[in-house]
Amino acid sequence: MFDLVNDIPSYPQFMDGCVGAEVLQHGEGFVEARLDLSRGGLQQSFVTRNQLQAPQRVSMQLVEGPFKRFQGDWTFTPLRDNACKVSLDLEFEFRNKLVALAANRWFEQVANQMVDALCRRADVVYRD
Give the structural domain span for 68.
2-122
- Whether the model clears a pTM of 0.85, i.e. scores above it, the answer is yes
Q: Which residues pair with 21 in a beta bridge?
A: 35
Q: Is residue 127 part of a domain?
A: no
| Cα–Cα distance measured from residue 51 to residue 28, given in angstroms and rounded to the nearest whole number | 9
Query: What tens digit of pLDDT does each residue of 45-93 get?
Result: 999 999 999 999 999 999 999 999 999 999 999 998 888 899 999 999 9
pLDDT of residue 17: 85
Please give the DSSP secondary-structure letter assigned to residue 8. G
- The four Cα atoms 12, 6, 49, 71 give a dihedral, to 10 degrees, of 80
CATH at residue 47: 3.30.530.20
Q: Are 73 and 60 in contact (CB under 8 A)?
A: yes
Q: Is residue 128 part of a domain?
A: no
pLDDT of residue 128: 60
